[in-house]
Amino acid sequence: MSRFARAETTLSPASASRLLLAVMGAASLAACAQSPVGRQRADLAPTTKQVAIERPHRVAALHPHPVYRPHRSVDTASAKSSASQGVASFYSDTETASGERFDKNELTAAHPTLPFGTKLRVTDVSSGRFVTVRVNDRGPFVRGRVVDISPSAAEALGMVDKGLANVRLDVVQ
């Protein structure tokens, strides 16, 4: 056997330990490259606009914005007049945002921005029927609707069969 062949087949203890350390180092580096922490950091920084659009901010979806924001007027006479006009629906719930227990027999409403206790005159534009309700809840969170009213208020307006009505809201008190 030649001198070179014999050197390839036997390793000195120092060479063996160096080779073992090199293999272990390479294995640990490979494991770090595949760790979930490295992948999460890469996912957090979108590389293109398309990636940012595909992953919308989820917190905003948990807190829907009010559909209606009334215009603040300096003139108190115009503030008492028509607050808004749009579509109304009726609802039933177990508890209101004000903490009251929901009663379907009371004339109450859910409005996105008016203070609790505000009295509203809800007038059906097509029939002219109206009812005065008290705001005790938040809502509606459906785009295009300005108020949700209790079933008894919906019955007074004659909108139970239709489900929706085009209404005008006037702040009474």
Kindly report, residue by residue over 11-53, the tens digit of the pLDDT. Answer: 788 888 888 888 888 877 776 665 555 444 445 555 554 444 4
Q: How confident is the model at residue 76, as a pLDDT?
A: 43
Residue 86, classed as helix, strand or coil, is strand
pLDDT tens sequence across 96-153: 888 888 898 999 999 999 999 999 999 999 999 999 999 999 988 888 899 999 999 9
Domain ranges of the chain: 3-55, 76-171
CATH class for domain 76-171? mainly beta
How far is Cα 51 from Cα 39, in angstroms, rounded to an integer?
A: 15
Across 125-163, the runs of DSSP E, i.e. the strands, are: 130-137, 145-149
